[in-house]
Structure 1
Amino acid sequence: MKLNFLAAGRLRMKKSIYIPGADRSEMIDLPVSSALIRHKQGNVLFDTGCHPSVVDNAEERWGPLAKVMQPLMGADETLLPSLACVGLGPDDIDIVVNSHFHPDHCGCNQFFKKATILAHAKEVEAAKAPAAENAGYLRVDWDTGQPIETVNGEKDLFGDASVVLVPLPGHTPGSLGALVNLDRDGPFLLASDSVSLRQHLDADTAPRNTWNVEGHLKTYEEVRRIESSGATIICGHDDQQWQRLRKGNQGYE
């Protein structure tokens, strides 16, 4: 089994959303990523990043959210070109796991027409709720026509403990992580926005864009438990970590 980290966008946001005490004029640049898991039973994408149309016109797709999340990437830094660099196209993907349904995590779902979408049942419920767009759920990104298989508790994706989906609520009601157990490089927890930046976990602080702070802090306890068992924690938007990771064809096994 192989794990490849793929560029899927880049955003600029107010630093004060993530760092307590930051001046409201300061900005922070955040990588957006997808993880490709190549298993003998099928190809899995964990998150699909930003839709390529936001490169040129974010407001048309995202509306007011485009003022909060400013895309920085070029077209070649979105998911489909990144996937092509490892020799795969959209029809080669069997399963898409969405950690949650914010548009920087499910923006390219529509391209994977042969895939089944997996998401937590509480995330689907939140995305369908009245005024869900005010909470960052854009139907154009998450509701793209493929079957959605809902997850409630942990889910062993292939029945061999190689990829286990783990509920990590707090950032959103149904945030999911994926524990990927590799033969050579060991376990990785794809934590997504349950740990947006490493310093949140270390300082036990939740960013301002958190749905439930108490739930988020409890999730940190679970993440630390998984890390103590030997897993590498992959944060959702930590640029320092992103720069150190092997990316594209230079993956992990």
Structure 2
Amino acid sequence: MKLNFLPAGRLRMKKSIYVAGADRSEMIDLPVSSALIRHKQGNILFDTGCHPSVVDHPEERWGSLAKVMKPLMSASETLLPSLACVGLEPDDIDVVVNSHFHPDHCGCNQFFRKATILAHAKEIEAAKAQGAEAVGYLRADWDYGQPIEPLHGEKDIFGDSSVVLVPLPGHTPGLVGALVSLDRDGQFLLASDAVSLRQNLDTDTAPRNTWNVEEQLKTFAEVRRIENAGAAVICGHDDQQWRGLRKGSEGYE
């Protein structure tokens, strides 16, 4: 089995959203990523990043959200070109896991027409709720008429413990991570925005864009438990960590 981290966008946001005490004028650049898992039983994408249209026309796609999350990337830094660099096309993907339904995590769902879409039942419920658009659930990104298979707890995708989806609520009601176990390089917890920045986990500090702080702090404790058991925690948007990861065709096994 192989794991490849793929560039899927880049954003600029106010640092104070993530770092307590930061000046409100200070900005932070955040990588957006997707993870490709190639297993003998099929290909999984964990998150699909930003829709390519936001490179040039972010407000047409995201509306006022584009002022909060400013896209910085070029077209080549979105998911489909990144996928092509490892020799795959959208129809080669069997399963798409959306950690949650914010537009920087599910923006390219529409391109994976042959894939089964997996998301937590609580995330589906939150995205369908009245007023969901105001809290970042943009139907144009998460709902393209494809059936979405709801998760209700942990899910061992292939039945061999190699890819296990784990609920990590807090940032949103139904956020899920993926615990990936590789033969050579060991375990990785794809934490998405359960740990946006490593600093949030280390200081036990929930970002301002957290749905439920109490749930988030419980999730931090669970992430630390998984890390102490030997897994490397891959954060959702930590630029320092991202720079140190192997990316594209240079993956992990």
Report TM bin, short chain. over 0.9
Give the equivalent residue in structure 2 for 1:213.
Answer: 213
Give the equivalent residue in structure 1 for 2:83.
Answer: 83
Give the equivalent residue in structure 2 for 1:224.
Answer: 224
TM-score normalised by L of structure 2: 1.00
- Following superposition, the deviation at residue 144 of structure 1 comes to 1.2
- Following superposition, the deviation at residue 65 of structure 1 comes to 0.2
Give the equivalent residue in structure 2 for 1:177.
Answer: 177
- Following superposition, the deviation at residue 89 of structure 1 comes to 0.3
Q: Deviations over 1:91-131 (max 9, x none)?
A: 00000000000000000000000001000000000000001
**1:137 and 2:137 correspond:** yes
DSSP-derived class of the 2:248 partner: coil
* Superposition map of 1:9-28 within 5 A: 9-28=9-28
Distance in 1, Cα, partners of 2:96 & 2:206: 27
CA RMSD of aligned residues (A): 0.4
Give the equivalent residue in structure 2 for 1:57.
Answer: 57
Residue type at the aligned position of 2:123: E
Contact 1:188 1:233 in 2 (8 A): yes
Residue type at the aligned position of 2:138: L
Q: Deviations over 1:127-160 (max 9, x none)?
A: 0000100110000000012220000110000000
Q: Could you list the runs of 5+ residues in structure 2 that have no partner in the other structure?
A: none
Give the equivalent residue in structure 1 for 2:189.
Answer: 189
Residue type at the aligned position of 2:119: A
Give the equivalent residue in structure 1 for 2:120.
Answer: 120
Distance in 2, Cα, partners of 1:125 & 1:217: 22
TM-score normalised by L of structure 1: 1.00
DSSP-derived class of the 1:28 partner: strand
**1:109 and 2:106 correspond:** no
Distance in 1, Cα, partners of 2:22 & 2:109: 34
Q: Could you list the runs of 5+ residues in structure 1 that have no partner in the other structure?
A: none
Residue type at the aligned position of 2:197: L
DSSP-derived class of the 2:178 partner: strand
- Percent of counterpart pairs with the same letter? 83
Mean Cα displacement is larger for which, 84-93 or 138-147?
138-147
Distance in 2, Cα, partners of 1:184 & 1:64: 44
Give the equivalent residue in structure 1 for 2:198.
Answer: 198
Give the equivalent residue in structure 2 for 1:36.
Answer: 36
Q: Deviations over 1:64-106 (max 9, x none)?
A: 1000000000000000000000000000000000000000000
